[in-house]
């Protein structure tokens, strides 16, 4: 079965989205991610969307759901690698992604998470 891999890097989990998401894949990702957060006690989730040249409201909603899910499980979510065109589309779609932090790339996202998590 098709799955989006979740990579562990220290206290954080990294998800790279490269393929077109469809309902089943999004659901599987949510299930896998919540299981991994619980198993690894991860404190943060990085979602890399640098491979996506465009997003639709489905992806926007999925990111919101993942963020809410992680929050409940005590993990921060940072969205990284957003292309300029994607940012414009998200704003035009009215998807302001409340509760989701963003960073330019994985390294900065990691720094952001480390600052947040270890300063508490």
Residues that bind a copy of itself (CB under 8 A): 3-5, 7-10, 14, 16, 18-19, 48, 50-51, 81, 105-107, 110
Residue 9 or 72 with smaller CB distance to a copy of itself: 9
Q: Provide the minimum distance between the beta carbon of 82 and a copy of itself in the complex, in angstroms, as a whole number.
A: 12
Residue 106 or 112 with smaller CB distance to a copy of itself: 106
DSSP secondary structure letters along 38-70: HHHT-SEEEEE-TT-S---HHHHHHHHHHHHHH
Q: Provide the minimum distance between the beta carbon of 108 and a copy of itself in the complex, in angstroms, as a whole number.
A: 10
Q: Provide the minimum distance between the beta carbon of 54 and a copy of itself in the complex, in angstroms, as a whole number.
A: 12
Residue 19 or 88 with smaller CB distance to a copy of itself: 19
Q: Which residues contact 70 (CB under 8 A, 6 or more apart)?
A: 33, 37, 45, 76, 77
């Amino acid at each position: 079965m098709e799955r989006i891999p979740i990579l562990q890097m220290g206290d954080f989990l990294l998800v790279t989205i490269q393929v077109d998401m469809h309902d089943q894949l999004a659901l599987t990702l949510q299930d896998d991610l919540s299981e991994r957060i619980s198993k690894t006690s991860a404190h943060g989730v990085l979602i890399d969307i640098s491979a996506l040249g465009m997003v639709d409201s489905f992806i926007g909603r999925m990111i919101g759901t993942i963020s809410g899910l992680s929050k409940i499980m005590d993990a921060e979510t940072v969205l990284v690698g957003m292309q300029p065109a994607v940012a414009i589309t998200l704003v035009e779609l009215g998807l302001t992604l409340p509760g989701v932090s963003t960073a330019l790339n994985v390294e900065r996202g990691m720094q952001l998470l480390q600052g947040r998590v270890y300063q508490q």
